[in-house]
Amino acid sequence: MLLMKDIVREGNDVLRKVTDEVTFPLSDETRKLAEDMMTFLKNSQNPELAKKHQLRPGVGLAANQVGVSKAMSAVLIPDADDNIIMEEMLINPKIIRQSVRKVALGEGEGCLSVDRNVPGYVPRANKITIRYQNMDGEVLEKTLRGYEAIVCQHEIDHLNGHLFYDRINSDNPFFVEDNMLILE
Ligand SMILES: CNC(=O)c1cccc(C)c1Nc1nc(N2CCN(c3ccccc3Cl)CC2)nc(N2CSC[C@H]2C(=O)NC)n1
Ligand code: NI
């Protein structure tokens, strides 16, 4: 199982490279990695397992965060009652439509590869449509808003070598762009 020691931290070049397209059918190795990434997120959201294995909780994990430069991310988003509202392997994801209107988490963003607090709003499109492939190679499209849109943009950024703080306004980290929504 993946542990925090397997998570690559900022400063490692693999986080700054554009990841390679995933080809189908998935090799056994790639399929297992995808499964391990989703299992990591599940374990990280389970209080007992997170405590036992010292896991930081996350709702998204990109393959280059575990040192594999492939365009795939696991996303596992629960709601306040721990019902899963999104469980998806995003393979070769692309944002094909995005709103002008921006959104940002009021508390800022965290990242499993960044062992420090970087305060500030991370402005992202409030509504996006992504095109991606699932584990069977089927091409799917999904429209996302708010928190789900934020998480998927954070993960797709990873696959393109970006980290969340690249998007924080350096002059004024808490600058609120026109019409920007702040999610508390
Ligand atoms: C610096 N301030 C902050 O971090 C921050 C501070 C406060 C609030 C928020 C909302 C913040 N922001 C933030 N909180 C999260 N979590 C909230 C807790 N949760 C979780 C925790 C426990 C069990 C189950 C779960 Cl589900 C896990 C996810 N996740 C992300 N991000 C940014 S997009 C990718 C995603 C990610 O997975 N990061 C590792 N940001
Ligand atoms: Ni991250």
Say if ligand 1 is within 6 A of residue 115 CB: no
Q: Quick one: pLDDT at residue 67? A: 98
- Cα dihedral 83→164→137→19 (10° resolution): -150
pLDDT digits (tens, 9 = 90+) for 129-151: 999 999 999 999 999 999 999 99
pLDDT band per the 50, 70, 90 thresholds, residue 8: very high
**How confident is the model over 72-101, as a mean pLDDT?**
98
Q: Quick one: pLDDT at residue 20? A: 99
Q: Quick one: pLDDT at residue 131? A: 99
Q: Quick one: pLDDT at residue 129? A: 99
pTM, entire model: 0.98
Query: CB–CB of 4/55 below 8 Å?
Result: yes
164 vs 154: CA distance, rounded Å: 7
Percentage of the chain exceeding pLDDT 70: 100
pLDDT band per the 50, 70, 90 thresholds, residue 175: very high
Ligand nearest to the CA of 166: 2
Say if ligand 1 is within 6 A of residue 89 CB: no
Q: Quick one: pLDDT at residue 112? A: 98
Say if ligand 1 is within 6 A of residue 45 CB: yes
Q: Quick one: pLDDT at residue 143? A: 98
Strands 181-183 and 102-105: parallel
- 155 belongs to the catalytic site: yes
Of ligand 1's listed atoms, the one at least distance from the Cα of 154 is 33
- Residue with CA nearest ligand 1 atom 37: 58
Distance 109 CA to ligand 1 centre (A): 7
CA 48 to chain centroid: 23
pLDDT band per the 50, 70, 90 thresholds, residue 94: very high
Distance 101 CA to ligand 1 centre (A): 22
pLDDT digits (tens, 9 = 90+) for 35-69: 999 999 999 999 999 999 999 999 999 999 999 99
Ordered strands of the 72-78 beta sheet: 60-62, 72-78, 84-98, 127-133, 139-145
CA distances from 119 to 24, 55, 111, 151 (A): 39, 22, 12, 17
Single out the residue of 47, 180, 45 nearest to residue 126, CA to CA: 180
Say if ligand 1 is within 6 A of residue 157 CB: no
